[in-house]
Amino acid sequence: MAVSRHLAIHGRVQGVFYRGWAVETARALGLSGWVRNRRDGSVEAVVTGDAAAVADFVARCHGGPPAARVDRVDVTETAPATVAGFEQRPTE
């Protein structure tokens, strides 16, 4: 069954390849959705896919790429992503 989650990732997550890492990770897990930087210094993502794959992605986001320092990941249920595949979006 497909599920969707909205993530707000806080810490040192900009300028450390976090979005690129998220795109690679999500695509490897077969997820759809998007990721973008936020002006407040956080990273935001919406992921949709198999419940186990989404849970795996969320768990991996607590670590992120090697240069990141993730302080917290806020996760909420959300409407499904309306994109095919997984994309990096401009900062908002």
List residues with catalytic annotation.
19, 37
The CA-atom distances, in angstroms, between 66 and each of 45, 69, 81 are: 19, 8, 27
Bridge partners, residue 74, by sequence: 8
CB atoms within 10 A of CB 75: 18
